[in-house]
Amino acid sequence: MANVCQLCGKKVQFGHRISHAHNLTKRKWKPNLHLVRVEIEGVRKRLKICTRCLRSAKVNKVVS
């Protein structure tokens, strides 16, 4: 499974690391994903969700 939030679609972003001499090298920012058990429309699933979606209560987290 890819490094993508299954609710909002947040994924890896690319950019440059810039030194003091303004040398550019490639880098990437990864989303903060967690594998969480959630309940969607009465069905329990395990989804990769970013912490922003988890905090904003876009899904109901299943407590075992």
Domain annotation covers residue 5: no
Buried residues in 23-39 as b, exposed as e (16+ CB within 10 A) = eeeeeeeebebeebebe
Q: List the domain range (segments joined by +) for residue 39.
A: 13-61
When pLDDT is cut at 50, 70 and 90, the band that residue 1 belongs to is: low
Domain count, the chain: 1
Domain annotation covers residue 34: yes
User: 8-64 pLDDT, tens per residue?
Assistant: 999 999 999 999 999 999 999 999 999 999 998 889 999 999 999 999 988 888 887
pTM, rounded to two decimals:
0.78
Domain annotation covers residue 19: yes
Domain annotation covers residue 23: yes
User: What is the CATH classification number for the domain harbouring 49?
Assistant: 2.30.170
